[in-house]
Every structure is written in structure tokens, then in C-alpha cells.
Amino acid sequence: KAGVTQTPRYLIKTRGQQVTLSCSPISGHRSVSWYQQTPGQGLQFLFEYFSETQRNKGNFPGRFSGRQFSNSRSEMNVSTLELGDSALYLCASYPDLTGGITEAFFGQGTRLTVV
């Protein structure tokens, strides 16, 4: 089974631009979460999608948005990029198990650099 795939792996953008990152979960997984990792703030939860619906959102400004498609693939978008948005963005998917207790499966991440 293929793992979680994130594209692109690396991205360089200029301040003020917008960016879209993509995540393809493991086949059969319907829950997709996004995390931002920076040296200063560590790993922080952005949002979670399940069956095309956002179920939970972290404490990030409205410039950060996401969506999920009917095939469970997810995208996140950051508009009006700031230098502080430079980070490793990680996507994780979960199997849809009853009982709910399961680990997350992470992709390799997208390294975004804003210049």
C-alpha cells in the first residue's frame, strides 16, 4: 500500500504570493490532518478533514485554508505569504476505524521557504 504522498517536497515563494500544497492519503483513509512545523513553535495542528468536511481547525489566521475532495485527497492553501510561514508542512491520514484509537500516518512533508 502506498503511503501518504505530499507534493511538492520543496517550494520557494515570495512574500505576498499564495501557495497550494497537496496531500494524497493512504488508500481507504478518509481523515486527513495538516500540521505546521517550525523551529520556534514546534508542531502545530492546522486543520482536519473527514469526508470533505472540515471537522476541526487550529489557531491559525484565515490566510490558511484547506479542502478535501471526494477521493479524500486534500489541499491546503496559504494566501498572502509571510516570512513566518516558512515551515515544514506535514499531512497525516487516519484509517476509518470504529472505536477511533489509531495512530496517524504522516507524509514526508512539504518544505516551504518564503523569501
Partner 1 sequence: SQQGEEDPQALSIQEGENATMNCSYKTSINNLQWYRQNSGRGLVHLILIRSNEREKHSGRLRVTLDTSKKSSSLLITASRAADTASYFCATDGYSGSARQLTFGSGTQLTVLP
Q: Which of 22, 44, 65, 79 binds partner 1 (CB under 8 A)?
A: 44
Compute the distance between CA of residue 10 and CA of residue 52 in angstroms, rounded to an integer.
26
42 binds partner 1 (CB under 8 A): yes
Of the candidate spans 11-19, 66-74, 78-86, 100-108, the one that interacts with partner 1 by CB under 8 A turns out to be 100-108
Q: Which of 81, 92, 112, 114 binds partner 1 (CB under 8 A)?
A: 92
Q: Which of 81, 90, 112, 114 binds partner 1 (CB under 8 A)?
A: 90
Q: Which of 1, 70, 83, 100 binds partner 1 (CB under 8 A)?
A: 100
Q: Is the dihedral of CA 54, 8, 88, 93 positive or negative?
A: positive
Q: Which of 19, 26, 107, 112 binds partner 1 (CB under 8 A)?
A: 107
Beta strands in 4-108 (DSSP E): 5-7, 10-13, 19-24, 31-38, 42-50, 53-57, 64-68, 74-78, 87-94, 105-106
Residues between 46 and 65 that touch partner 1 (CB under 8 A): 48, 50, 55-56, 58-59
Question: If 0-12 CB within 10 Å is exposed, 13-18 middle and 19+ buried, where does residue 37 land?
Answer: middle
112 binds partner 1 (CB under 8 A): no
